[in-house]
Chain A
Amino acid sequence: MSVNSTVLEKKLKKKASLTDTNLLLIITVVVFLVMYILAVVFLKKGFTKPQMFFNILNENASLLVLSCGMTLVMITGGIDISVGQVTSLVCMSCAVYLQKVNDAGLTGNQYVIKSMLLAVAIGLAFGIVQGFLVAYMEFQPFIVTLAGLFFAKGMTTIVSSDRIPVTFDPFVKLCRTEVTIPFLGSVNKKGIFIPAYVEVGVIAALAIVVILFCVLKWTKLGRNFYAVGGNNQSANMLGINVKLTKFLAHVLCGLMAGIGGYLFFLHACSGSPLHAQGAEMNAIASSIIGGTLLSGGVGNIVGTLFGVLSLSTIKNIVTSLGLEDAWWTNITVGVMLCIFLLVQSVILARKNNKK
């Protein structure tokens, strides 16, 4: 009897080892690796240098954080299309704040920290209001966050309609800080070794990825996200507070929008109504490429990381192929998205048939 049960357990384990989440994750990782290796082998140009890889991270630290927040919401079966404009609003507010401080002739690190708090507060405010409307008032997430998008967009231009570059000294220093990575780098024409570097934002973004990964994998909250997204009613019957879980997902997403906004601000060092245009769609696309299903219950932060990397790698490949006309990148991203969606849909259909 006991032997039988252990065999059964083993069988179950084997079956469970390749869940939807894992399968989609594997596809994404493989596609990214294949793409990058092909680029290194055939294109050479910049791809052999480690700095190329780190530049991808430098440029997309903000998108990475936004996508992680988006993934959380998508796992619970919702969506948040306001994150891009919230990013823009955060950049603009922080830029205006820091410039005011600068004009007043003040200086000091505490103002930079205050601007960070401002960014987080804006993000949290959006997250809490939207989360409340979605979870407790039972409005459709798309419409609620559409309102959020409109509101953030309008507020950004009300705060200021011009591009505001930041000249506040401590902040500029923080922007320019580069963290060098020992042992990695390339030798330039003169034979001098130049180590690769990343910006401060990348380290923050990667830390957030690790934290969210742990939250999703090992905490009760993370498990609740999957349960609620997989099936609302069964989650309710299991004693999970569905409304609270959805609310928390939106609050976390808002928080990520605030942090992502600040990372964008760090990278761009300015505020402008044109910042982060369409970032929400890029974030959704990255999440989808990373194997998150919009229907909820399936998704993975590591997948999202690779989704962001794949998205930006393909953009880089297209540019280095010499197709520099602006439209090619968007068309390739569209095609890539299409292929991923089709693959996902076929896999899921096959799985359902087997059942």
Chain B
Amino acid sequence: MTSDTMKSNNPSFAIKLKNFLGKLVKNQLFIPIVALLLLVLINLIADPTFFKIVLEPSSTGHLILSGNLITIIDNASELAILAIGMTLVTSASGGQDISVGATIAIAGSVILRVIKVQPTDISNGRFAAMLILAFVLCVVVSAIFGAFNGALVAYFNIQPMVATLILFTAGRSIAAWINNNDNISIKDTRFAYYGNFIPGIAIPTPVFITAICLIVIALVLKFTNLRLYSQAVGINASSSRLNGINPKMIKLLTFIILGVCVAVCGFIKVSRTSSITYSVIANNIEMDAILAVALGGNALSGGKFNITSSVIGAYVIQFLTTTLYKFKVSSSAISAYKAVVVILLIIISAPIVRRWFEDMKNKREAARVAKIATAANTESGKENV
């Protein structure tokens, strides 16, 4: 009895710390950040020079930053951009778009179709105009494909995974059809700037593009009702309709935003290699993007979302991939290790496991209370005697 009152009157530092930790664990950013720290730790133990970044001249003679960390941040760009759109789609429609890899192929194909007709010796101004034209066209085409998916989901009530199965099947073929299945490679070195380095700047360009995308989406979420509306639609579409939101429009909008993200990814992808292989480009990226969303702790059944944690999830996945490469795992066997991560992840984040933990906690608490009670009883019994 006395010990209990003492505890409640005098909240010690330990209890404060416990509360703080409890809050931390419940935070959505907890899992991806812990995963990231774990990977950093493993890498540091395995190879202390893993994070060394050096400034050295590249093959074209310009100074560039190189190192594992730069590679990871650079290579994760597409995934991070996709994770933005995928999070929104997941939130509003409670399903995932599995066609992103195929539509990236379409987007890349559209860009190359425009760029390939240009001679390599045109002036910088004309090239820039050409590039902008190609990019705008690519964004429009991707947005149309996104709208196609979105319309099937929103207006025909088809589950997102099934609706996007159509483009998943046909997308790469459409990409090949756009360019007549030609093997295109762009000779103009200016085209490769956007997937690699702009001369004179030491940081890879995709990093900047990702940053711009993140800033834009942050501003959009800050100054519009997109976050509120898509969460409302994801949690309960019919009640959000009764509150004056048009759930169909919101779903369509999220798919169009994903389409724009896909266009940016397609642009970076083709710029990296200045060429395209229709059946291989961005292969399996849809699975990674969905994994990034799940890793970020977002419910795949829709509702509340946190884009920051999805993006961190994307970097974690790329980090994992690079780490596995460092440990000399062959590129095709990597997926087996990813499977282990996925399983661990779903086990940690599953409601049933959390419930189990809470039950354990409650039981321990109950046992403690019972112990105190019996102790008090025996004491009072002694007094009576």
Contact = CB atoms under 8 A, between A and B. Distances in A.
Chains A and B form a bound pair = yes
Nearest to B346: A139
Q: Which of A79, A140, A346 has the most CB of B within 10 A?
A: A140
Contact of A294 (B161, B172, B290): B161
A142 B176 contact: no
- Provide the main secondary structure of the chain B interface: helix
A147 B288 CA distance: 11
Contacts of B255: none
Contacts of A295: 159
Contact of A151 (B156, B290, B301, B336): B336
Contacts of A326: 173, 176, 181
Interface stretch (B18-26, B266-274, B306-314, B349-357): B349-357
A158 B290 CA distance: 25
A345 B157 contact: yes
Nearest to B148: A338
B163 interface: yes
Interface string B169-191: 11111101100010000000000
B166 A153 contact: no
B333 A158 contact: yes
B214 interface: no
Nearest to B353: A137
Interface string B355-381: 000000000000000000000000000
Contacts of A329: 173
A154 B166 contact: no
A334 B169 contact: yes
Nearest to B329: A154
Nearest to B334: A154
Contacts of A333: 169-170
Contact of B330 (A157, A331, A335, A341): A157
A158 B335 CA distance: 11
B9 interface: no
Interface stretch (B59-67, B219-227, B337-345): B337-345
Interface stretch (A21-29, A169-177, A251-259, A280-288): A280-288
Contact of B169 (A140, A281, A328, A346): A281
Contact of A285 (B169, B338, B340): B169
Contacts of A208: none
Contact of A150 (B152, B176, B330, B342): B342
A146 B166 contact: no
A247 to B, nearest CB: 14
A331 B165 contact: no
B181 A325 contact: yes
A343 to B, nearest CB: 10
B176 A327 contact: yes
Interface in A298-334: 325-331, 333-334
Contact of B174 (A325, A327, A337): A327
A204 interface: no
Contacts of A161: 330, 332
A281 B165 contact: yes
A146 B167 contact: no
B335 A144 contact: no
Contact of A153 (B335, B343, B353): B335
A139 B343 CA distance: 10
Contacts of B170: 330-331, 333-335
B96 interface: yes
B342 A146 contact: yes
Contacts of B169: 281, 285, 330, 333-334, 337
Can you list the 4 inter-chain pairs with the closest CB atoms, starting with the nearest? Answer: A154-B336, A334-B170, A327-B173, A151-B339
14 contacts: A79-B161, A139-B346, A140-B301, A147-B342, A149-B287, A157-B330, A161-B332, A281-B169, A294-B161, A331-B170, A334-B170, A337-B165, A338-B152, A345-B158
Given A273-B332, A349-B157, 12 more contacts: A79-B161, A138-B351, A143-B346, A149-B335, A161-B330, A281-B168, A285-B169, A331-B173, A333-B169, A341-B156, A345-B157, A345-B158
Interface of B: 96, 152, 156-159, 161-163, 165-174, 176-177, 181, 287, 290-291, 294, 300-301, 330, 332-340, 342-343, 346-347, 350-353
